[in-house]
A and B are shown apart, each in its own frame.
Chain A
Amino acid sequence: MNAAAPAIKGTGARPRSVLPGFSLAMGITLGYVGLVVLLPLAMLSWRAAGLGLEDFWRIVSGPRAVASYLLTLRAAFFATILTVVYGLLMAWVLVRYRFPGRRLIDAAMDLPFALPTAVAGIALTALYAKNGWLGGPLAEVGISVAYTQIGVAIAMAFVSVPFVVRTVQPVLEDLDPEVEEAARSLGATDWQVFRRVILPSITPALLAGGSLAFARCLGEFGAIIFIAGNLPFKTEITALLIFIRLEEYDYPAAAAIALVVLGSALAMLLVINTLQGLNRRWAETRG
């Protein structure tokens, strides 16, 4: 922060500062956040609360809902493993090596965020369908992806790719090369250097990126509904179940299940903040 800035800690509610516009800017910010973010979230909770505990529990613990949670969690788990492995590989190669096309590949890492999810959904479906470019060869070895749980995981992995790459990249860049050189001069092999020196240093970043990816997978909708078969109990993710309840005009049920998803997202946010704090503290102790 800025050491030369004059003391602006006031005694009253309004900070003393030579700069103008605090009340206006703060007023706009609080009003906007209240109206755009907090009030709608509160309305969801209020509507779900209107059900009463017993009905709420009956809805959110119904077999179809539970099956959708389990599918969503399982697919998100495998998708996260895939993006962690892929993200580590990409961060490693992009940071440590120079090769033609590196800038292009680096920019491509953001494509899953830039590409609308509906486009990703139909593109992945076409790709992994039984007669598709990847679905065809996979079908020959007996793996079907489109309209199965594997398809759900593939779509989740696609949309969450940038999290791991972008979290690990800066940490790899800041690693002190001398530690690695020391290990090598003591006779460590490539694998030992990676396993004993580098991996421990990037583990907090991998966990932080992985948990961001996992959280995104839990909430994803657009990319998944095209490639999933959307069969209840089999390939129906929770976000889709909410949507189906809305189409049936069963708004209380939709609100109740949405509140479960919101609650799990907030829990993930706590985990992510803790992991990011660890990652940052770790980076600071290394200097």
Chain B
Amino acid sequence: MSAPYRPGRSESATVRRTLIGLALLATALMIGLPVVIVFEQAFAKGFEVYAASLNNPDTLHAMMLTMIVAAIAVPVNIAFGIAAAWAIAKFDFPLKKLLVSIIELPFSVSPIVAGVCYLMMYGSQSVIGAWLEQYGISVMFQPAGIVLVTIFVTSPFVVREMLPLMEQQGREEEEAAALLGARGLAILWRVTLPNVRWALLYGAVLCAARAIGEFGAVSVVSGNIRGETNTLPLHIEVLYHDYNVIGAFAAATVLTLFALVGLLAQTLLALRMEAREGRHPSGAH
């Protein structure tokens, strides 16, 4: 953060205190209470009921599937992010801005629309879907479909954090390494990635959080079969509509804890990036 304001420099103390009070109250209502109520509802009938509702085979399966989906989507998008950031930041070519806009497009697509796109592409009435079915491969209403659509919705996160930093750092260090005879992967591994590792990690944290929590897009392409194609967010909906409120909120506590750990990681990484590079990660989205 460059040149922070001197604290409470100008307004009168009354104005300052009122605004801080209002901000704290509004944040408690808007952001604090939704988190608190997740735990309150989950533990409404005590710890044993909570533990029992978590220790349900369908819930455990949903957790497992969610982890598997994230474990595939995150590395794939890290690899894509590195390739795209390398091409865009280290070389000049026409229509670069257009390419960046297309890469960021998934952020602007509604999750439901993303799901419908994938259904239209891989569903059995589509050319690709029908062709795959000839070989006995079905993608829709299977975990594979969930993985594919999750990769779509999370694809911009890593690039978007790496790209501005890599553009700002220029090409000199890499060029020096190349002139000294370093090969491509060595330059990437020894020069570029160490310079952007916090940004890469920050992007990966955002990517993982979204992959774990995605609901709309996966609800379109999942068959919603318990114990088979339900991710944890989808399973919350199933439990909730079964009037199993404690079960739904118990599953929600797991996702909330992931979210809080992710936020903590984001905060720590942002502090490191500010200290190292004097810049804050891109924030919104």
Contact (Cβ within 8 A) B121 A39: yes
Closest beta carbon of chain A to B157's beta carbon, Å: 11
Closest beta carbon of chain A to B191's beta carbon, Å: 10
Contact (Cβ within 8 A) B263 A111: yes
Is A19 interfacial (CB 8 A cutoff)? yes
Is A186 interfacial (CB 8 A cutoff)? no
B1-15 Cβ-contact flags toward A at 8 Å (1 or 0): 111111111111001
Contact (Cβ within 8 A) A108 B31: yes
Q: Is the interface of A mostly helix, strand, loop or mixed?
A: helix
List of A residues within 8 angstroms of B1 by Cβ:
173
Given the contacts A38-B102, A190-B11, A105 and B184 also touching, CB distance less than 8 Å:
no
| Nearest B residue (CB) for A44 | B117
List of B residues within 8 angstroms of A81 by Cβ:
none
Q: Quick check: which of B51-59, B82-90, B130-138, B193-201 contacts chain A, the rest being far away?
A: B82-90
Is B99 interfacial (CB 8 A cutoff)? yes
Complex: A166 Cα to B285 Cα, angstroms:
10
List of B residues within 8 angstroms of A118 by Cβ:
213, 215, 233-234, 236-237, 252, 255
Complex: A140 Cα to B172 Cα, angstroms:
66
Is A147 interfacial (CB 8 A cutoff)? no
List of A residues within 8 angstroms of B109 by Cβ:
41, 219, 262, 265
Closest beta carbon of chain A to B280's beta carbon, Å: 7
Contact (Cβ within 8 A) A123 B252: yes
Contact (Cβ within 8 A) B284 A2: no
Complex: A88 Cα to B141 Cα, angstroms:
43
List of B residues within 8 angstroms of A286 by Cβ:
none
Contact (Cβ within 8 A) A258 B116: yes
Given the contacts A37-B103, A173-B3, A134 and B184 also touching, CB distance less than 8 Å:
no
Complex: A265 Cα to B233 Cα, angstroms:
25
Q: Which of A98, A99, A177, A258 contacts B112 (CB 8 A)?
A: A258
Is B227 interfacial (CB 8 A cutoff)? no
Closest beta carbon of chain B to A178's beta carbon, Å: 12
Complex: A110 Cα to B261 Cα, angstroms:
12
Q: Of residues 21 to 60 in A, which have CB atoms within 8 Å of B's CB atoms?
A: 21-22, 24-26, 28-29, 32-33, 36-41, 43-44, 46-47
Complex: A109 Cα to B30 Cα, angstroms:
10
| Nearest A residue (CB) for B86 | A25
Complex: A274 Cα to B259 Cα, angstroms:
32
Complex: A136 Cα to B61 Cα, angstroms:
36
List of B residues within 8 angstroms of A219 by Cβ:
108-113
List of B residues within 8 angstroms of A66 by Cβ:
none
Is B171 interfacial (CB 8 A cutoff)? yes
Is B67 interfacial (CB 8 A cutoff)? no
Give the most central of A6, A127, A157, A193: most B CB within 10 Å.
Answer: A127
A218-258 Cβ-contact flags toward B at 8 Å (1 or 0): 11111000100000000000010011001000010011001
List of B residues within 8 angstroms of A26 by Cβ:
87, 91, 93
Q: Of residues 190 to 226 in B, which have CB atoms within 8 Å of A's CB atoms?
A: 206, 209, 212-216, 219-220
Closest beta carbon of chain A to B199's beta carbon, Å: 16
Contact (Cβ within 8 A) A97 B213: no
Q: Which of A1, A39, A242 contacts B170 (CB 8 A)?
A: A1
Contact (Cβ within 8 A) B283 A166: yes
Contact (Cβ within 8 A) A255 B116: yes
Contact (Cβ within 8 A) A246 B119: yes
Measured CB to CB, the residues of B under 8 A from A are: 1-12, 15-16, 19-20, 22-24, 26-27, 29-35, 37-38, 41, 79-80, 83-84, 86-88, 90-93, 99, 102-103, 105-106, 108-114, 116-121, 123, 125-126, 128, 151-152, 155, 167, 170-172, 174-175, 178-179, 183-184, 187-188, 206, 209, 212-216, 219-220, 233-234, 236-237, 240, 248-249, 252, 255-256, 259-260, 262-264, 266-267, 280, 283-285
Question: What are the 6 closest A-B residue pairs judged by CB atoms, nearest first?
Answer: A116-B213, A219-B110, A2-B170, A222-B215, A166-B283, A221-B216
Query: What would 7 A/B residue contacts be, using CB atoms closer than 8 Å?
Result: A1-B167, A19-B187, A20-B183, A90-B27, A107-B264, A119-B213, A258-B113
New A-B contacts (4) at CB < 8 Å, excluding given A157-B30, A166-B284: A22-B91, A37-B155, A40-B152, A111-B35
